[in-house]
Structure 1
């Protein structure tokens, strides 16, 4: 194990060949793509990210799934950003069909956040798709979008910016 000092945010520790983790994160459990997915908790992913699953604050029928890759620029490629955005849009398609309307909770970069309506996309399926993208398999994200479109009609394209996101950025 090696330690990197990152000032007030550190120390960060190299852990089991993964990108450096904050000292408080070293004891988090590892989540396996094919193991059962708990309904809540914080985990280290196979790609070195931190995955958090919890109830969404605003709406109890949604789960908020966050994935951060602080200290791991290899996870922030354009291909992975597009695949993660497609996952968010697939989740939004299910929400629209269920009668709720919110824009996909997603942002490119080291912190990705998704809101998934409970009971419409099985949590294990969504988490496995997130982990697959992290490990470089973009096909599961495409399958979730295709399934959402087959059931509910077209979702926005992954490259289309969200009007609300533009307003917040401006």
Structure 2
């Protein structure tokens, strides 16, 4: 029984978080955060993108769940704007919002606009690599709560 207890103690998972240092994201964590938007922009650049029944483009998340693209991308941008403001980075994400507006209006999108948006996402990726991932998670949770309050306020006013 002592051997089993010693073996179980060795196998315990120790959290990676260090409370005294900045916990930068590992490369696979960075890829996991940015993979959905990278895949979406790649599909836009090729010109072949999946659409829902109503004609809205589809955005796939890391787990394979499909969402309507423009609200998902706007949510990503609003969360990242909150993070950038917190850390003091000055990255202009308005071209990504303009791209979403064009998608909503069924306007044509050129390759240069998509490439410009990909460049913005790449700068956001570089900034994310320098951030504390636990602080970023807290900021994203705050943004999700804010978006939910806005959604509830809109539905409450409509009722």
* Superposed pair shares fold, TM > 0.5: no
Higher fraction of helix: 2
Q: Which has the higher contact order (CA 8 A, sep 6+)?
A: 2
* TM-score for the superposition, normalised by structure 2: 0.31
| Structure having the higher Rg | 2
